[in-house]
Structure 1
Amino acid sequence: MPEKPLAPESSPSGRSAVRTLLRLWPYVRPVRARLFTAAAVAVVASCLSLVIPLVLKWMVDGPVADRDPGGVWLGALYLLLLGVAEALLFGLRRWLVARPLASVEARMRGELFGRLQRLPIAFHDRWASGQLLSRGTTDLMLVRMFLAFPLTFLVVNGVTILVGYVLLLAQDRALGLVLLTPVVPLVVVCSLFESRYALVARRAQDQVGDLTTVVEESVLGIRIVKGFGRHRSQAEAFRALTALLRGTELTKARLLAAIWALITFLPELAIGAALVLGTVRVADGELSAGTLVAFLSTALALRWPVESLGFLIAMSQEAATATERYFEVMDAEEEADRSGSPGREPVGGGAADGVRFEGVTFRYPDAPPDAPPVLDGVDLRIRPGETLALVGGTGSGKTTLTALVPRLHEVTAGRILLDGEDIALMDRARLRSLVAVAFEEPTLFSASVGENVLMGAGDGAGEPELRRALAVAQADGFVDRLPDGARTQVGEQGLSLSGGQRQRLALARAVAGRPRFLVLDDPLSALDVHTEARVEAALREVLRETTALVVAHRPSTVMLADRVALLSGGRIAAVGTHQELLRSSAEYAWLMSGDGKAGGAGRRDGER
């Protein structure tokens, strides 16, 4: 079962749907003129339907009563013209809203995607990807549908009902008051329906997010599913979530059916009572037949505006829930930049000083309060142009430490200096232009090999930078053998390539831009010994030109470094050359012997 997002969920019962939907105004404001015009056109079109009963009254009391065929044909022509005008106006309304609402949806989707890129890693660690996907797809579709139909017709139908009841009371006050009797019960019923439907709508949309997560995980992990024969358990998980969503949707359907039945029944009952009373009065000569026909025609014309209230309220509640879910992401706090404007000069003067960790402590935001920090007062210096290997047992915090340098996470205490400048005071874009990273688990995008590699270089990078990076990573050989060379599309997650090929492309991406600081998290773990030796030989040339921190698990990787730091218990236990640590540190010697992969237990459930 996919984990639920740990972001706070607001209770639908405690929020105002109107207040929530008003948050859409900044997106609607640029297209408000067309939307207001469309609403005005729809009001005119809807009110034209109320003119038809007046024409009928004139026909019944005039040409029909006087047996005037010419007058009947004239009345029929009026009715035809009114119908054509109504259809044309509703078509114009649809044309007016189509383009602007598509732009509103596109803008909201673009801003959501941009916000997701700026949110901290801790946010993405807490949220299931399916929940985020459903907010960018299903939820925004519901918002667009609300702006296109319910928003307009709540106004249109409200105006139509008001004008219609004024006409009814003007035609005959007694019959008009009879039709007004269902108003109070309808208001109470709609209020109860709104609060209950909001709860169910929120539950359904969250379950759609859970279902999306299961589908995404099953597709991305299809090799694991097939390799371990887990297709039945995955199918069972999918069926369970589908059944849960089906039950919630049926609950929504039952609520909608109940409100629709009541909203239909009460006005029909009032119309029936008005028909009986009006017929009696016509028989007594107190009311003309034309007035009764016009009255009943007006009442029937108001059936759809009244009966659609339940449907429109339901769509509005779903849109309010979708809007609420959208702004849960948009309101999340972005990565903080305390540096001010981009391009700020280094506060430390920019003199070459390498990398310094001063009292760095880190605790994950979702860690229990009593859990020890992952890193606890780390003090370490990497000299300018030096390569430092970081060694430690599984779970010792090596990956976490490397993630702090490009500020994928923010330190809890202490500071990290690059050439004397506190990275917490640097603009993120500038920091990440100075620091390149290659992770142990490489991620490739659905793009060409060349595009993936050159993501690590500047905007002006081209073929020379690409070929150099591929050569350093010893990836040029297999890339040239691909069907379209560097233009070959690697597919989603790069799963069409082997693990070693993906890792070499990730390494090529890290070195493509000749970074000032290089952070490599066990970059050669998926390579065979022969390829590893060739990559190490080429990588040594690159490391001479940069300051590097390399997470290492094997002696061959350690040998790339000038010095080695041993991370143990969240602290730096020892620093020295490989040979020095072999002599002075039993823990380091044990790790390098190949028996230390289980070391460092007790920190967290797996290294992060």
Structure 2
Amino acid sequence: MVSALLAALVALAIPQVLRSLVDGPLQDGDSSEIWVPVLVVLALGVIEAVMIWLRRWFVLQPGTRVEAGMRNAFYEKLQDLPVSFHDRWASGQLLSRAVSDLNIIRRWMSFGLVLLVVNIATIVVGFVFLISINWMLGVLFMVCSVPMWIYGYVFEKKYSVVSRRSQDQAGDLATSVEESVHGIRVLKAFGRGGHALRNFVNQAEDLRGTEIEKARAVAGIWLWLLLVPDVTFALSLFGGVLLAADGQLSVGELVAFFATATVLRFPVESIGYLLAMTFDARTAADRFFEVMDQENTITDPESPVVIDDPEGRLVFEGVHFRYQDSPAQFPDLLDGIDLALEPGETMALVGLTGSGKSTLTALSTRLYDVTAGRITLDGVDIRHLTRHDLRRHIAMAFEDAILFSASVRDNVLLGRPEASDADLAEALDIAQAAFVHDLPHGVETLVGEEGLSLSGGQRQRLALARAVAARPEVLVLDDPLSALDVDTEALVEAALRRVLASTTGLIVAHRPSTVMLADRVALLERGRVTAVGTHSHLLATNDHYRFVISSLDEEAAAAMPDPGPDTVPDPAPGPLPDVLHDTAAPNTRGALS
């Protein structure tokens, strides 16, 4: 800013040298005296060029450094905010804030802010020079500029609203692109590409209309910024000629006045562009701090507790949960859960859709926090542990297996990157993920964005291997085998039994075979645990449990491949017996008796 200001002051000094040149050597006709002011003008021009070069050189490092710092802080904030925040915010809006908005802020800091301050200072100093040359012409110049400042105020009110709408629409458009890219298989499978395109075109057209509205607003202020100086120049020229003819103004002063006014022309004309840039930057900053100012409700305690010798006893005590935006009249999603898992025990969660199974597992790692009650690990409230320690003791595998654009090794060892090759091989073996060795570069193969280059079953097996490789004291599995075929599922379950023999397990069961992994079963019904016991005991004593198990059995049968015409058909459905029997089909998922 200092170098830019020096460049502007040097530029304003040149007309003063021209005044002495015109009123001195040129008027006297002494050519020998011309060289000194000419050399002074040349020196001032060189100094101005050097100062402008320095201005550009100075802003390179700080501007990009600030932008990088803000972007890193933004990403860190996104990682720190709870899942409930990401449930509410569209990913495209966050992407536009992290990329385009921060780019606008960086350009404004490096260019807009510097020139706005320097050009305003140049205009003030230039007006002082104009008044010092001739106060009447100077006052005329200032008065003629007043309409421009008035319109600038009106422009600010209008442009700020349009600028915010434009940036929000750009975020919505980015969300549409992202959703279409991620869902391209669905769109193609259902032939809805044209529908998605029409929606995108409508959104793009709305953004185009807003951008045209912005352009019209900028064009309006440019009209004043170009018209007012030209009118001012004409009036000043007319007045200056009259004053010079009347002897109240010398020719050198007239030349200096218009040379100074010419220097001021760019600062005056640039105000509109710089104001537009400033308002865009203000909107971008508002959008940036909308995220940065979000309160994180799931934080680490000030004095965290450390579990020195974890055993893996997980207890839910009077746990209630409801989402923040749930209407007050809606009941709690979880309504007083009491459940205890002993070290090394495997508990299956069984219930109809919407009973709260997945929500209960998410609470165990504080992806959400309980609304009331508490969850303890080895007698310690999990809110008294740091999130890092808690998630080191408890690992999760989700039904929706998400992989990252990294190698198989990096994906599997995400929770314990320091693990050895032997640990990696063991985790892959337990998850029956031997297919990785057939990939082009084995475990170093990049799996691509979200792992979509792999099948659903392959992604699930790698996600399960990731949870196993973390070697937690508590392993939480939210139906991680749903995409596996019958034979692979049986192999994975057999390997999981070895892992769960020494690890506390909490498994959401959507298949009858998954229930067989558990030592005990907890039945969830409308957000409450209504029964806990062994599978055989609940089958014999609980009608709702038999109903849930029958629905799981029907889902499993529906998910099995068509046996073909040569296979003996299953018996016709009938009343559910007290103890389920083996079916005649050779590829059944196991008896539940």
Asked if TM exceeds 0.5, the reply is yes
Change (3 A) 1:71 1:238: farther
Aligned to 1:591: 548
User: Deviations for 1:176-221, whole angstroms, at most 9, x for unmatched residues?
Assistant: 1111103433332211211211111111111110011011111111
- The 3 A distance-change label for structure 1 pair 597 and 77 is farther
1:490 pairs with 2:490:
no
Which residue of 2 is the match for residue 33 of structure 1? Answer: none
SS in 2 for 1:358: strand
Q: Any idea what the Cα deviations from partners look like across 1:239-289, whole Å, max 9, x if unmatched?
A: 111111111111111111111211222232222111101101212222211
After superposition, the Cα gap between the structure-2 partners of 1:597 and 1:305, relative to the gap in structure 1 and judged at 3 Å, is: farther
Among 462, 475, 478, the residue aligned to 1:521: 478
C-alpha deviation, 1:513, in angstroms: 2.1
2:322 pairs, out of 352, 363, 366, with 363
Q: Tell me which residue corresponds to 2:492.
A: 535
What one-letter code is carried by the residue in structure 1 that aligns with 2:489? E
SS of residue paired to 2:28: coil
2:388 to 399, 423, 429: 429
Q: Partners in 2 of 1:335 and 1:220 — Cα distance?
A: 30
Work out whether 1:269 is the aligned partner of 2:231: yes
1:481 paired to 2:442 = no
**Distance change (3 Å), C-alpha of 1:353 and 1:220:** closer
Amino acid at match of 1:465: D
**Is the aligned partner of 1:372 residue 2:331?**
yes
3-state SS in 2 of match to 1:574: strand
- Structure 2 gap ranges (5+): 556-593
Q: Distance in 2 between matches of 1:474 and 1:75?
A: 87
Normalising by structure 2, we get a TM-score of: 0.91
- Name the residue aligned to 2:418: 460
Change (3 A) 1:145 1:597: farther
Structure 2 counterparts to residues 48-63 of structure 1, below 5 A: 48-63=10-25
Matched position secondary structure for 2:531? strand
1:84 aligns with 2:46: yes
Aligned match of 2:347: 388
Please state if 1:189 is matched with 2:151: yes
> How far, CA to CA, are the matches of 1:211 and 1:68 in structure 2?
69
For 2:306, the equivalent position in structure 1 comes to 345
Map 1:19-98 → 2, pairs under 5 A? 39-98=1-60
**What's the counterpart of residue 472 of structure 1?**
430
User: In the alignment, what sits opposite 1:445?
Assistant: 404
Match for residue 171 of structure 1?
A: 133
User: Which residue does the alignment assign to 2:570?
Assistant: none
Matched, 1:280 2:242: yes
2:519 to 558, 562, 567: 562
1:330 is the counterpart of 2:330: no
Contact 1:57 1:294 in 2 (8 A): yes
- Alpha-carbon distance between aligned partners in 2 of 1:166 and 1:501, rounded to the nearest angstrom: 75
The question of 1:258 aligning with 2:220 is answered yes
Q: 1:71 to 1:341 in 2, by over 3 A?
A: farther
Paired residue for 2:574?
A: none
Question: Which of 240, 251, 261 in structure 1 is aligned with 2:202?
Answer: 240
Any residues of structure 2 matched to 1:89-168 within 5 Å, and which? 89-168=51-130
Aligned partners of 2:398, 2:505: CA distance in 1, in Å? 14
For 1:206, what is the secondary structure of its paired residue?
helix
- What secondary structure, in the 3-state scheme, does the structure 1 residue paired with 2:480 have? coil
Specify the alignment match of 2:531 in structure 1: 574
Deviation for aligned residue 1:60:
1.8
User: How far off is 1:73 after superposition?
Assistant: 4.8
Residue 180 (structure 1) aligned with residue 142 (structure 2): yes
Q: Following the alignment from structure 2 to structure 1, what is the Cα–Cα distance between the partners of residues 32 and 235?
A: 35
CA distance in 1, matches of 2:312, 2:61: 56
Q: Tell me how far 1:351 sits from its aligned partner.
A: 7.4
Query: Once the 2 structures are TM-superposed, how far is the Cα of residue 86 of structure 1 from its aligned partner?
Result: 1.1
In structure 1, give the amino acid aligned to 2:399: E
| Cα distance in structure 1, aligned partners of 2:409 and 2:281 | 42
Aligned identity (percent) is 53
Larger displacement relative to structure 2 (446-455 or 223-232): 223-232
Please give the alpha-carbon distance, in whole angstroms, between the structure 2 residues aligned to 1:334 and 1:256. 39
Aligned partners of 1:436 and 1:517 also within 8 Å: yes
Displacement of 1:323 in angstroms is 0.7
Query: How far, CA to CA, are the matches of 1:456 and 1:227 in structure 2?
Result: 35
**Structure 1 residue 354, shift from structure 2 partner:** 1.5
Per-residue deviation at 1:438?
0.1
Deviations 1:115-153 (CA, angstroms, capped at 9, x unpaired): 000000000000000000011000000010010111111
Give the structure 2 partner of residue 7 of structure 1: none
Is the 1:351–1:420 contact (alpha carbons within 8 Å) kept by the matching residues of 2? Answer: no
Q: Distance in 1 between matches of 2:310 and 2:53?
A: 68
Is 1:354 matched with 2:310?
no
Moved more, 362-371 or 585-594: 585-594
Give the total of aligned pairs.
555
Q: Which residue identity does 2:390 align to in structure 1?
A: L
Aligned-residue Cα RMSD (Å) equals 1.6
Rounded Cα–Cα distance in structure 1 between residues aligned with 2:59 and 2:168: 29
SS in 1 for 2:349: strand
Whether the 8 Å contact between 1:465 and 1:513 is mirrored in structure 2 is: no
Tell me, yes or no, if structure 1 residue 312 matches structure 2 residue 274.
yes
- Alignment partner, residue 202 of structure 1: 164
Equivalent residue letter for 1:485: G
State the SS of the aligned residue for 1:465. helix
Q: Distance in 2 between matches of 1:70 and 1:102?
A: 51
Change (3 A) 1:74 1:352: closer
Greater Rg, structure 1 or structure 2? 2
Select 2:370's aligned residue among 407, 411, 417.
411
Q: CA deviation at 1:381?
A: 1.1
Kept after mapping to 2: 8 A contact 1:393/1:596: no
278 and 209 in structure 1: CA distance in 2 versus 1, 3 angstrom threshold: same
Q: Secondary structure at the match of 2:315?
A: strand
Aligned 8 A contact 1:553 1:592 in 2: no
Is the 8 Å Cα contact of residues 19 and 252 (structure 2) preserved in structure 1? yes
Please list every run of 5 or more consecutive structure 1 residues that lacks an aligned counterpart in the other structure.
1-38, 599-608
Could you list the per-position Cα deviations for residues 480-502 of structure 1 after superposition, in whole angstroms to 9, with x for gaps in the alignment?
A: 11110000000000000000000
Residue number in structure 2 paired with 1:14: none
Q: Aligned to 1:137, what secondary structure does the other structure show?
A: helix
Task: Specify the SS of the correspondent of 1:548.
Answer: strand
Q: 2-side partners of 1:270 and 1:532: how far apart?
A: 84
Q: Indicate the structure whose relative CO is greater, using CA pairs within 8 Å and at least 6 residues apart.
A: 1
Letter in 1 for 2:31: P
